[in-house]
Amino acid sequence: MDHATHVFASVFPVPSLSHTTPTPVATPDLGYTAPDVSFGSPFTQNAGGAQQRAAKRLVAWSTATRFLSLHESHGRSLRRSREVDGALHYLLVGEGKSQDGEAREEEGLVEWYTNEARIHFAGSVRPGLRELWEKEIKLRDAWDLLEKMQRMLEQIQALYIQPFNDHILPFLHEDASSITIRASRDVQAVEAELVEGAKAKFARDIHAAFAHSLPRKRFSKTLSYILYDAGCRLFRFYNRHDGVETPSTPEPTRAVRERMTNLLSSLERVGLGGDNAQKAFAHAMNKLLDTFISSHYLKVDWYSKKPVVPDLKSWIENGFVPLVELVMECLRCNDGEVQPMQLKAWQEMGLVRLGRARVEELFNFVIYWDRSLGAILDLKEYLKLNGAKEHLRASFSRQVSSRLLHPGATTTYILNVYISIIRAFHRLEPKGVLLQSVARPIRRYLKEREDTARIIISSLLIDVDDENSGKFTSSGDLSYEIASEMSKPFAHSEAADDEFNWNDMDWQPLPHDASPEYKKSKVEDVIYFLLTLWDREDFINELKNILGDHLLRCQDLEYQKEIRLLELIKIRLGEDKLQACEVMLRDVLESRRINDTIRTAAMASTPHNQNPHTPEGRGARTPQPHRPTTSAPSHHILSTPRHKPTSNEPTLNAQILSSFFWPILRDDEFRVPAQIESLQKAYESRFERIKGMRKLRWMNALGDSTITLEFEDRKEEFAGLTMWQVSVVYAFQPQPSEEWVGKGKGKSQGVTRNVEQLEEMLDMDEGLVRQALAFWVGKSVLRLTSPDTYTVIERLSSATTADDNAAAAASELAEVQAAQTTTVKSQADLLNERKDVYMSFVIGMLTNQGNLGVQRILMMMRMMVQGGFPFGPEEVRGLLGEMESTEKVVSLGGDVWGIKKM
């Protein structure tokens, strides 16, 4: 019977092999008479020594197998008698030994005993093991299960090996000593090799039976868990991946180590420490490494901002590797010592996993920069590995797309995050290749938002230390990050950004992974990246509009931030395109000098106690402009308050503007209070004398003022008012033809006006009138008594709950309207002003030239419309859509339009 049959029979018993009763003593076979041969002839078949050897071997076999039978020897000690010694010697050393060169018709005693052990194990031990493993294994019982199984297998192994060592092995040693060998070989070594080979073969066969009796997958998973559990206890990991809660009191590591090594050594002795155990160990160590990566030992250091990569490498070298060597020693692996190359490979493996874990949280690290500097430094080490940059670029782009580039994120928030990305990626990869790659979709998205340029430039002009710093919110229109960048000192590099600058001693070639459009600038601050979001021409035009609005509102007489901003932009974008901005800044600076000159001349020519006269018939309750200001002319002048006067005498400051260089400003026409009008005339006459009879055109809608209002029970001062607000409240005083009972008459009924009267008195647009009325209702100066009719609240004690509610609602409305009011006309305002002209041109063009596309219409309008057409294709489509609603034009599909045929 061959070896494969014996192995199969150990698992699936064969009935013929299950009979373990040794062969009984039988009558020797003396042969038989052949045909044509007389009875008793000496030529009888099978006669001679063969018959005698067979009979003798049968007797010896019966004696030896009876003695070695595991079923019969169970529970009693085995002592060899002389007869048993003779039988064993005959079968293992003498003539009864089966020869290897024969056809193996005779079974050897060693093979029989091996098969006897398999059959005994299959019938007596395996059912118990099967029952042990068929139950559900709980994690807390895994240690006990393996230890119980290991003890059972060690006992049964001792039962099989002891008879083999005591009764078979000595005869095998004797047989080996009788073999003739070459003189060049060591006799003792050869004998030991033969004996140990037989012994090892028997152990392998027994261990194979043990291994085949166990459920391989369940055993491997259980052993893997045991090793993982031991590692977590040794290193005291508290966030385990198996969900097991770590005891609050740490266990002694020595006890855990001893229990683990004893179990592994025992499993190795019973043949369960081979490839399966090593695979289970590899799985456990893989899981253990992941646990360490996510443990508290490698959490981001938010306080000291240090990287944890050195800690990771130190743990792998001083903790992970010693544990591996200990386990490999217990499993008796051939190469139990970890080589330096293997250590380096494991450290790189740990760095890869740490880096990937950091990459998944990179967006959060960017938001919390620079507290997350330690995590960024970890990623910097990770980027040194192959494929790390590609993984980081792809993962971070997905995070940005899902968490930043969506309509729910405000432009201010996106800009703040973009600035953090610039700072973090400069530290992560100074060459800028990664930054250029991940920032490309952000820059494209910001360029599509209409308020991006306004927020950037407005934030650059804001002082982070002023009293209004509380307006820096993620949902507001100002970015604190941009403003703080503006406050930092800027060191300009004189070196040119030229790839072929032969005088640059620090020149380096472009990175190998740079894209074709990559260009590394020597100016790498945040503002540079923000200013280069658009093409230079588009940005200059937007800067001109925003700077003009800012200069008209600015209260800083020195204009230090504005000057610094222009110088900073010159450095980055060149001086040739900023002439208009420089003229605008020079205008407001020159206006201060002119104001001082005119004020000095006025003080010299006017007595100190001479005040402007209130028009005859006006009551003493006239709202007095404490710092009245008028607006700038489209041609020359704008008035703005600069200081608070020390007396009741109203003062006026003006800004003289060069209309050719300024953006188109709002020029609403309306009447201003008489006092302000007289101040304007006096200012204009003095200006003409100074500037050689140059004329001024006042733009009242751009001015702001501070006034004091007197009521029967109070006096209130209001600052930062627009001129139409001042004009409207000024109109709420009795006219010469009106009767009004003033203070001391016992009445508190104020002057009443309606919207129509105010429009007629002030020649003011209805929208401005209603906006001013809403503002004064919100300030509890006026109350709405009937539709479109308002009355002055002379006494606050007369105000009702309805007045308070109306004041709160009107105040909120006024704040919204004030936020939408600008000194520079928007593109929408300019389009609405000339809408009729543009529509007439489009109708004429389509009538004369036939059907045209939007791009062709836009090109023709830019070339032919007087004054130009400073709009894009979206505005053209809007005009065409409005004309289509009035059935003037019709869409023909494919962005082509034509005249509507009647």
Tens digit of each residue's pLDDT (9 = 90 or more) over 796-821: 776 666 666 666 766 666 666 655 56
- List Cβ<8 Å contacts ≥24 apart for 301-308: 301/374, 302/368, 302/371, 302/372, 302/374, 304/374, 305/370, 305/371, 305/372, 305/373, 305/374, 306/374, 306/377, 307/374, 307/375, 307/377, 307/378, 307/380, 307/381, 308/354, 308/374, 308/378
| pLDDT tens column, 503-546 | 666 666 666 666 655 555 544 578 878 878 877 777 777 778 77
Task: Quickly tell me which residue has 């004009």 as its tokens.
Answer: 727
**What CATH number has the domain bearing residue 803?**
1.10.10.10
Residue with the larger pLDDT of the pair 141 and 830: 141
Tokens of 609: 């106690």
80, 69: one domain: yes
Residue 156 domain flag: yes
**What average pLDDT score do residues 586-595 get?**
81
Mean pLDDT rounded to a whole number for the chain: 77
230, 308: one domain: yes
Percentage of the chain lying above the pLDDT 70 cut: 74
pLDDT of 395 above 70 = yes
pLDDT of 185 above 60 = no
Range from 364-373, 519-528, 739-748 that averages highest in pLDDT? 364-373
247, 347: one domain: yes
Residue 16 domain flag: no
Residue 609 domain flag: no
Cα-only R_g, the chain? 51
Alpha helices in 250-308, H assignment, sequence order = 253-269, 275-293
CB-CB contact of 681 with 802 (8 Å): no
Residue with the larger pLDDT of the pair 397 and 275: 397
Tokens of 648: 């009741």
DSSP assignments along 515-529, one per residue: -TT----S--SHHHH
Measured from the Cβ of residue 762, the count of other Cβ atoms closer than 10 Å reads: 21
125, 152: one domain: yes
Name the pLDDT band for 367 (thresholds 50, 70, 90).
very high
Q: What is the pLDDT of residue 133?
A: 86
| pLDDT tens column, 399-457 | 999 999 998 899 999 999 999 999 999 999 888 888 888 989 999 999 888 888 888 88
DSSP assignments along 609-658, one per residue: T--PPPPTT--TTPPEEEE---PPPSSSEEE---S--SSS-----EEE--
851, 806: one domain: no
Residue 717 domain flag: yes
| pLDDT tens column, 603-648 | 776 554 444 443 333 333 334 333 333 333 334 455 443 334 444 5
Q: What is the pLDDT of residue 400?
A: 93
882, 811: one domain: no
Residue 254 domain flag: yes
834, 870: one domain: yes
Q: What is the pLDDT of residue 623?
A: 40
Residue with the larger pLDDT of the pair 625 and 832: 832
Residue 715 domain flag: yes
Q: What is the pLDDT of residue 853?
A: 87
Residue 626 domain flag: no
Residue with the larger pLDDT of the pair 724 and 333: 724
Reduced to 3 states (helix: H, G, I; strand: E, B; else coil), residue 104 is: coil
Reduced to 3 states (helix: H, G, I; strand: E, B; else coil), residue 472 is: coil
Distance from C-alpha of 475 to C-alpha of 126, rounded to nearest angstrom:
72
Domain hosting residue 833, numbered range: 827-899
Q: What are phi and psi of 789, to 5 degrees?
A: -125, 135
185, 333: one domain: no
343, 207: one domain: no
CB-CB contact of 287 with 254 (8 Å): no
Residue 341 domain flag: yes
77, 204: one domain: yes
Question: Domain count of the chain?
Answer: 4
Picking from 304, 325, 355, the residue at the C-terminal end of a domain is: 355
**What average pLDDT score do residues 862-887 get?**
81
137, 231: one domain: no
Q: What is the pLDDT of residue 710?
A: 84
Picking from 820, 838, 863, the residue at the C-terminal end of a domain is: 820
1 vs 9, 14, 21, 579, CA distance in Å? 11, 12, 18, 106
pLDDT of 123 above 80 = yes
207, 221: one domain: no
Residue with the larger pLDDT of the pair 41 and 392: 392
Buried-exposed string 445-475: b where 16+ CB fall within 10 A, e elsewhere: bbeeeeebbbbbbbbbbbebeeeeeeebeee
Closest CA to 288 of 364, 238, 228, 332: 228
Picking from 187, 213, 239, the residue at the C-terminal end of a domain is: 213
